[in-house]
Amino acid sequence: MKTRQTILRAAAEVFDEVGFSAAAVRRIIKRARVTQGAMYFHFASKEDLAREVMFSQADDLVLPGGPDGLQRLIDITFYLARELRTNPVLRGGVRLAVEQGAFGMREERPYQQWADVFQEQLNAARERGELADAVDVQEVSWVLVSAFSGMQLFSQITTGREDLPYRISTLWRYLLPGVASGKARESLRLDLDMDQGRDPDPVPAPDADRDLDSREPHEGSGRPR
């Protein structure tokens, strides 16, 4: 089992670095420091290995705790943004989900698993009275997964995901006025700096006359200057 996990991690690193098509099996074997026989004992082919990496992208994640609801959902998205900057298995799995046509797949499960996580938190938020009356939790979870996926891809291309937490903050500042109840918005936080020991930014109240992007970037947020 340890050898299998070692190969998976090495493969995730290589897939993240060069993509599926350019990832040579010999490079993965060298990175994992295993024999060719060990590689093919656990995985029948590069395609088999890619599928396993894609489906196991969340296996080593420990999502933020706390009461289920909107704040935990927000915290989860910031946690994922930080993990995407450092976690090779998540990074490799996410890249393969985008490139899955290259190894003969058209599979929605890598995205649906996150839609399910988000919807669970939105259902809890509904029970807590944190959502606006017109919100459809299934639609919002789909929108959030789609927006997050696009933002992380754009962030990867432009800054190597260094600005991803700021981009997620921007997503929430525009999304929350249409999703959260007025009472919930008073207590929600956009926690850009959870892992740096600084106080998080409060969610701005919706105001048609307010320029939502006028705030100065929070130090350490990764916002492009």
Examine residue 125 and state whether it is found in any structural domain, yes or no.
Answer: yes
Q: pLDDT band for position 192 (50/70/90)?
A: low
- Model pLDDT for residues 135-153, shown as the tens digit of each residue: 999 999 999 999 999 999 9
**Could you list the residue range(s) of the whole structural domain that residue 86 is in?**
70-202
139 and 185 in a common domain: yes
Examine residue 170 and state whether it is found in any structural domain, yes or no.
Answer: yes
157 and 81 in a common domain: yes
How wide is the angle at C-alpha 94 spanned by C-alphas 1 and 121, nearest 5°?
95
How far is 215 from 148, CA to CA, in rounded Å?
Answer: 22
- Model pLDDT for residues 33-52, shown as the tens digit of each residue: 999 999 999 999 999 999 99
Q: Which residues, including other chains, have CB under 8 Å from residue 46's CB and lie 6 or more apart?
A: 20, 23, 25, 28, 103
Tally the domains of the chain.
2
Q: Is 187 helix (H, G, I), strand (E, B) or coil?
A: coil
150 and 190 in a common domain: yes
